[in-house]
Amino acid sequence: NPKFKGRDFLAIRDYTSEEVMEILELAQKLKKMQKEGIPHPLLAGKTLGMIFQKPSTRTRVSFEVGIYQLGGYGLFLSPNDLQMGRGETIKDTALTLSRYLDGIMIRTFAQEEVEELAYWASIPVINGLTDLLHPCQIMGDILTILEKKGTLKGLKCAFIGDGNNVCHSLLVGGAKVGMNVVVACPPGFAPKHEIMAQALKDAEETGAKLWVVEDPAEAVDGADVIYTDVWASMGQEKEAHEKEKHFARYQVNASLLGKAKPDVIVMHCLPAKRGREITDEVMDGPNSVVFDEAENRLHAQKAIMALVMQ
């Protein structure tokens, strides 16, 4: 599919609704092939550099395994070992890495850094999480919802908690695929205005409804999907304690679950703080799909890599 070749994957915003669905279709195909043991070396001989300025379990392992399953090779690049850690610029790093690699995945703090890297790199750059967005996560999540519910359009997804990177990408993702997304958050922790405004624009095309409320019970009423994430993200360690006070009523527990549809699925991008934003009972319970969701990172990202690094 030539229209994806060479493109960055920095934000779901940059892809049309149709393109998002094409990525998901390929993800489903690749997942089936992998399950059936059918080789699919779409990126034979290609290399992916993976820069992590923050810790990772799922993103790191799923990208590294994913590129390997596609016939390529992944290099884990720790900031402590890269010269970037000693002050080499993003520009020089991008220009250099473009001479060796076929793609770069980066996890860092500022979205602007990822954009700067992509600006200078002549190879595709994939966003593996910033403070603002987590687009690969949401591609895997939408795949999971599609598998579990058989459809996306018109579903009600309730995000309970902090209006963070995952929440932002969920809003944009929902807008692109026609899934309604309601965010329940304490005052002062709502998703960013610019993100909401832009997601609402995308939603006009698909008919998705996006809105923010304060009351978690109101948000989960009739929900098909409940989604939560940590209250304090990576880089917010200092505020974590203070933040917790605001979020006490935003725990996803059995009582909240009882207000959603009986067949509601519960999602969490992980890692979770069990006993805080989600109880053990819910996370280990029959409605939870959190590990299917974790698995689908692999399949969704393989599709993204296969398309942009072809």
Question: Which positions touch ligand NVA (CB under 6 A)?
Answer: 129, 164-166, 229-230, 233-234, 269
Contact between residue 164 and residue 233 where contact means Cβ atoms under 8 Å apart: yes
What is the distance, to the nearest Å, from the Cα of residue 274 to the centroid of all Cα atoms in its chain?
A: 20
Is the distance from CB of 208 to CB of 175 less than 8 angstroms? yes
Q: How far is residue 153's CA from residue 281's CA, in Å, rounded to a whole number? A: 29
Kindly state the number of chain residues that form the binding site for ligand CP, as judged by CB under 6 A.
9
Closest to ligand CP by CB, 134 or 176: 134
144 neighbors 296 (Cβ within 8 angstroms): yes
Q: Which does 230 bind (CB under 5 to 8 A by kind): ligand CP, ligand NVA, none?
A: ligand NVA
Catalytic residue among 167, 202, 229, 299: 229
Longest dimension (CA), the chain: 55
Task: Report in angstroms how near the CB of residue 5 gets to ligand NVA at its nearest.
Answer: 28
Q: Is 99 annotated as a binding residue?
A: no
Establish whether 134 is a catalytic residue: yes
CA-CA-CA-CA torsion for 38, 12, 204, 211, nearest 10 degrees?
110
d(CA 283, CA 290): 7
Amino acid at 62: S
In whole angstroms, how close is the CB of 245 to ligand CP at the nearest point?
Answer: 25
CB of 216 to ligand CP, least distance (A): 22
Q: Is 241 a catalytic residue?
A: no
Q: Is 276 a catalytic residue?
A: no
Q: Does 78 bind ligand CP (CB under 6 A)?
A: no
Residues in binding site for carbamoyl phosphate: 56-59, 83, 107, 134-137, 269-270, 297
Residues belonging to the active site: 107, 134, 137, 229, 269, 297
Residues that bind ligand CP (CB under 6 A): 56-59, 129, 137, 269-271
